[in-house]
Amino acid sequence: MMFIHTCKYSMRIYFILFAVIFSRISTASPLPDLSAWLTEINRGTAKSSITNSINIPNRIMLIKSWENRFYPKLFEIENKDTSGTIDFASKAEVELSYHLNFWPGGKKSMPLPLEKRTLLSMTLLRCDSAIILSKDPNNPWRFVHKNNSNVDLNIKIEPPTDPLNDKSVRKWLGLTLGYNGVVLDTKQEYVLVASLFDAFDGTARQGLALKNSQSKIRIKDDNDEGSGLLTYTAGIGNYAIFKIVFLEQGVTELPRGSKLVLEKLDPN
Amino acid sequence: MIRLVLKIFVLLSIFFERGSVYAESINPPRLKISFKTKNEDTTHKEDIIKSCKRLGKRLKVSGGPFGIGFFSNFSCFINNDKIYGKLKDEKWFLDITEVNDTIEIELKLKTTRQSFFSIPNYQESYHYLTDSGILDLISLQILNSTPALISLPSNNIRTFRDIRMTKALKNLNLETIHPKKLTLYTLNYSSNDDLWIPTLIGHAKIKKISTEKKKKNGKKIKINKFTWHMNLDSKLTKNIRLWAHLSSGRSDKTSNKNISDLLSSAFKNIEAQSLISDNTLLTHNKRSSEDSIKRPNDLIFKYGTQFLAKDDLLGKAYLLIGEFQLRHGFLNGVKINYTAAPKINSEDDFGTAYISWNRYSIGYSLAIEFDSVINRIDITPHIGSWKLSAKLPIITENEVFGHEFNIEKSTLLGMEIGIEKIKPWYLARAWSIFEKSLDSKKLEKVQLTSLKFGLNIAFYPGVRLPIFANILRPNIQIFSQVESIDLHSEESSVQSAESIDVSSLNYITGYLGAGLGFSW
């Protein structure tokens, strides 16, 4: 039985890849069409979204502070079409949502406790996840995830060592969650993959699939095993087809929702 | 090529499905409009039905100025009696309730208040609530507090009308309430949390696309039309319902205040035009293409009795007055007056003293109107005819003798100045008139000048006569006036034993009286 320990963005993957390069799965199915595949999996999904039925953060709000103990002030991230599948709530959306629900002369804002306030904001802004960036060194940074209206994760997280900006926050989120990609579907040796925080720009990548990770929102350091190694074949925007290089012994397939550590291969 | 198109399609569809929501997407809801009046009146009912239909139409999607509208359809009720539309699982309620001197307008979602404001209640009628301009403002005020001011088709450019410029909105700066910039979103509602959950799609700016000239009633008029220029975050792949609200937010205070101020000014305009209580004017308006509000035409009959002069003869004097004034229509401004002082006499040492006169005049009023303590100032130059026959006592130290003044038919010229205060239930007018007869070789050489001051108050009890299609509305008039008359003979006459020249005579009378007027 072969174990691959999770080493986020570590060089260990290179060695593994090298070791198994001659033991690749021998079947040679034709490469599926990526656009057709995306259309296929999108059709008929209950929430009409490719990733919504997968247990990952789909939409995150980064709360810097609270104004009047009610109105969240957000860390703004630019939402580009091809900057990963994860969406971020914006200041403009906060203003719109709060204006529609707590208008002058209408419904009164309540001085809710922090957790309820956070949940209310998440509902208003359609966020399943929130990260509270505390200015107070005595209050830890927190990651909150909810499934419908139930909080299923509310944990302390480590703040980044460097100040956050639009680019670094995505990398830091990948490190915090423990993954930056997810398996959407498989067809024989091919895997349809979504990149959560950046787009596939055509450069070669490899992916490490994390074992039994399909139902996990956050992957803890060093406690999770790899279940397979993938290599990039084709991509559009945030989506790509990877080919299975090998699977761990006993693993026959990569379940939908399996988390991935994606890493660019050095062209040199 | 096909592959490229497919890729673009997939990317776009992926983008627009990001961040899907947990709540139900909404369709335009139905609205129940309920008028709650203090008393039931068939005349009011007609106006309320008209008002409700016009307001409901404006609150429907794309039904109001600039394309505003939130609701799909509406029904109308008066005091729980259905008068229009069908009731079908309404969750939105608009209550328009008459409360003493105000009418309260409250919009509710189930039992939760969404907006509340009030407007003046002109007790005699609801006809001012049928005015298109005022209804445009009211619909803007109501929709300002709904979760969306407007619904725009995502794949269709349409043009929308301006606010109706009725006389009630005359001289008002409506630019302040033009919704200039909108935030576009799709809209969901979570009934569990009672939360509106929008998804931001983009923005829209208003654009005045044309100023058309149309011939209406033979006149050229300007019509502004608007369209919304949408700036979406990306192209939409399908036609979806976009909702929008002012970028400044739902029920924005500044916007609400601007609309409220304009409504207030519009009602003052109506007051100033003294039309509020005149249902007949609305009937008139119904026949015209515009439902603007106009001042009433009046026909007035008055009787006044003398209260100032103490002598035997003038103490008996009384006046009969008829007035006809047109304040709207083709001959707007025309004023006709007929006043008669029927013959009275008294026995004196020299015989019988007597006086009688009558005069009529026709004039044209030029008026300036205000939204202030005083609502109107007018001047009315007029021309007419005067007839007088009198033998008045002349009293000296030793004797009393009579002197005759006769004017068979003398042309008079005059000028009237008046100021008016207009309220829904009364019209007060203070006035002064100076008149002078002209010389005429055909007539006796007697000149007559008159200076009068007076105060008229008309009370409008709010009933209409059941004749002439109910257009006549009676009103009660009271008045008081003081008049100084100078009689001057060019040829002096010796009438007394003391050979006194009598060339002129002045007397002052004061009258107090009441009458009945009819307005239409």
Cα distance between the two ends of chain B? 74
Q: Is B27's pLDDT higher than 80?
A: yes
Please write the tens of the pLDDT for every residue from B468-499: 655 677 889 999 999 998 877 765 554 544 45
Helices B253-272, B132-143: inter-axial angle, 10-degree rounding: 160
- % chain B with pLDDT above 70: 78
Q: Out of B18, B20, B147, whose CB is closest to A100?
A: B147
Among the residue ranges A8-22, A32-46, A211-225, B263-277, the one predicted with the least confidence is A8-22
Q: Does B440 touch chain A (CB under 8 A)?
A: no
Report the gap between the CA of A122 and the closest CA in chain B (Å): 11
Q: Does B79 touch chain A (CB under 8 A)?
A: no
Q: Is B367's pLDDT higher than 90?
A: no
| Backbone torsions φ then ψ of A73, nearest 5 degrees | -105, 125
pLDDT of A174 reads: 92
pLDDT of B319 reads: 92
Confidence band, pLDDT 50/70/90 cuts, at residue B405: confident
Among the residue ranges A259-268, B71-80, B350-359, the one predicted with the least confidence is A259-268
CA trace torsion B264, B266, B267, B270 (10° rounding)? 160
| Backbone torsions φ then ψ of B142, nearest 5 degrees | -70, -50
Of B18-22, B275-279, B302-306, which has the strongest mean pLDDT?
A: B302-306
Of A26-40, A204-218, B211-225, which has the strongest mean pLDDT?
A: A204-218
Among the residue ranges A204-213, B238-247, B310-319, B439-448, the one predicted with the least confidence is B439-448
Cβ B190 vs Cβ A122: under 8 Å: no
Assign 3-class secondary structure to B299-353: EEEEEEEECCCCCCCHHHCEEEEEEEECCCCCCCCEEEEEEEEEEEEEEECCEEE
pLDDT of B127 reads: 79
pLDDT of B463 reads: 63
Mean pLDDT for the stretch of residues B207-235 = 75
pLDDT of B282 reads: 37
Mean pLDDT for the stretch of residues B457-461 = 84
pLDDT of B20 reads: 39
pLDDT of A110 reads: 62
pLDDT of B192 reads: 81
pLDDT of B352 reads: 84
Q: Is B115's pLDDT higher than 80?
A: yes
DSSP character for B71? B
Q: Is B24's pLDDT higher than 90?
A: no
Residues of A in contact with B112 (CB under 8 A): 107
B6 half-sphere exposure, CB direction, 13 A CA radius: 11
Residues of B in contact with A105 (CB under 8 A): 115-116, 145, 251
Confidence band, pLDDT 50/70/90 cuts, at residue B292: very low
pLDDT of B464 reads: 64
Chain-wide mean pLDDT for chain B? 80
Give the whole-angstrom CA distance, residue B270 versus residue B278: 11
Residues of A in contact with B13 (CB under 8 A): 42
Report the gap between the CA of A97 and the closest CA in chain B (Å): 6
Q: Which token pair is B116?
A: 């509340």
Q: Is A73's pLDDT higher than 80?
A: yes
Cβ B75 vs Cβ B86: under 8 Å: yes
pLDDT of B141 reads: 93
Q: How far is CA B255 from CA B48, B99, B246, in A?
A: 27, 25, 9
Task: Using alpha carbons, select from A103, A113, A85 the residue that is nearest to residue A199.
Answer: A85
Task: Using alpha carbons, select from B139, B135, B141 the residue that is nearest to residue B165.
Answer: B135
Confidence band, pLDDT 50/70/90 cuts, at residue A252: confident
Please write the tens of the pLDDT for every residue from A171-192: 899 999 999 999 999 998 999 9
Q: Is A205's pLDDT higher than 90?
A: no
pLDDT of B295 reads: 61
Q: Does B254 touch chain A (CB under 8 A)?
A: no
Mean pLDDT for the stretch of residues A115-120 = 86
Q: Which token pair is B340?
A: 């008669």
User: Which residue did the predictor score with more confidence, A49 or A119?
Assistant: A119
Please write the tens of the pLDDT for every residue from B125-183: 677 888 899 999 999 999 999 999 998 876 667 888 888 888 888 888 888 888 889 99
pLDDT of A50 reads: 67
Determine the residue type at B45: K
Neighbours of A234 (CB within 10 A): 16
Give the whole-angstrom CA distance, residue B255 versus residue B178: 9
pLDDT of B106 reads: 94
Please write the tens of the pLDDT for every residue from B174-192: 888 888 899 999 899 888 8
Please write the tens of the pLDDT for every residue from B375-403: 889 999 999 998 888 888 777 766 777 77
Residues of A in contact with B114 (CB under 8 A): 106
Is B10 in Cβ contact with A236 (below 8 Å)? yes
pLDDT of B112 reads: 87
Q: Which token pair is B220?
A: 């050229």
Mean pLDDT for the stretch of residues B351-359 = 87
Q: Please, what's the largest Cα pairwise distance for chain B?
A: 129
Mean pLDDT for the stretch of residues B346-357 = 82
- % chain B with pLDDT above 90: 30
Residues of B in contact with A39 (CB under 8 A): 6, 9-10
Q: Is A98's pLDDT higher than 60?
A: yes
Q: Is A12's pLDDT higher than 70?
A: no
Please write the tens of the pLDDT for every residue from B417-453: 999 887 767 889 999 999 988 865 554 567 788 999 9
Mean pLDDT for the stretch of residues B81-100 = 89
Nearest CA in chain B to A86: B18
Please write the tens of the pLDDT for every residue from B228-255: 888 887 666 667 788 999 988 888 888 8
Q: Does B197 touch chain A (CB under 8 A)?
A: yes
Chain-wide mean pLDDT for chain A? 80
Q: Is A105's pLDDT higher than 80?
A: no
pTM: 0.63
Please write the tens of the pLDDT for every residue from B38-63: 876 666 788 889 999 999 999 999 89
pLDDT of A223 reads: 59
Q: Is B9's pLDDT higher than 50?
A: no
Residues of B in contact with A35 (CB under 8 A): 3, 6-7, 9-10
Q: Is A87's pLDDT higher than 80?
A: yes
Substitution target in B18, B111, B189 with the highest count of A β-carbons within 10 Å is: B18
pLDDT of B441 reads: 52
pLDDT of B347 reads: 81
Neighbours of A71 (CB within 10 A): 15
Confidence band, pLDDT 50/70/90 cuts, at residue A44: very low
Question: Cα dihedral sign for A230, A232, A235, A237?
Answer: positive
